[in-house]
Amino acid sequence: GMVCNGILGGLVSITAGCASMHVWAAFLTGFIGAFVYYGASKTMLKLKIDDPLDAFAVHGACGFWGVLAVGWFGHYDYLSFGWDGKNGDVAGKAHYGIIYGGGMLFSAQLVALIIEVAWVGGLTALLFFALKKTGLLRVSREIEEVGMDSSKHGGSAYHN
C-alpha cells in the first residue's frame, strides 16, 4: 500500500539525479519524493481519477519532482563535465543547482518537463480521440453492467 509506494516514490524521485548530486541531497530528494507521492495520491482520489495502482503518483509526480530536484541539488563536481565536450565547464555556475548558486540548470529542467508533458499530453489526446471515434475506447453498456471479470474471465473476482 502506501508504505511500499512511498518507498518506490522516493526511489523514482532520485533516479534522475543519482549521478549529479551528493548523498545527502539524494536522500533528501527521495525523502521529499515520498511526500510528493502521498500528496499526488490523495489529489488523484479527491479528483476522482481512477488509478488503483497509484502509477501516476509514483512515476509521474515523483519523476517530475526528481527532474526538478536536479535543478535544485545538482552539484558542480558532477555537472561540470559535458557542457563543452571536454573536461571542464565553460558555462560557469549557471549550470549548477540552485543551492550552489546556479539557476540555468533548474530552468532547463523545468523547460524539459513542460516539453515532455506537452508531448505526452498531445499524443495521448490524439490516441484517445482516435479510440473514441472508432468506438474502441469503452466496452458496451451491457458488459460494463455485468462486469469485465465475468465477460472476459468467466466469473466474478469477488465472492458475493
Condensed to tens digits (0 to 9), the pLDDT of residues 104-117 reads 889 989 999 999 99
> 54-63, 77-86, 135-144, 146-155: which has the minimum mean pLDDT?
77-86
Cα–Cα distance for residue pair 33/6, rounded to 1 Å? 8
Give the confidence band of 92 by pLDDT, cuts at 50, 70, 90. Answer: low
Per-residue confidence (pLDDT) for residue 83, from 0 to 100: 52
In Å, how far are 9, 14, 67, 69 from 18, measured between CA atoms? 14, 6, 10, 10
Per-residue confidence (pLDDT) for residue 78, from 0 to 100: 84
Considering just the CA atoms, what is the radius of gyration of the chain in Å?
Answer: 21
Per-residue confidence (pLDDT) for residue 22, from 0 to 100: 96
Residue 90 or residue 149, greater confidence: 149
Q: Which residues contact 144 (CB under 8 A, 6 or more apart)?
A: 138
φ, ψ for residue 151 (rounded to 5)? Answer: -75, -30
Average model confidence (pLDDT) across the chain: 89
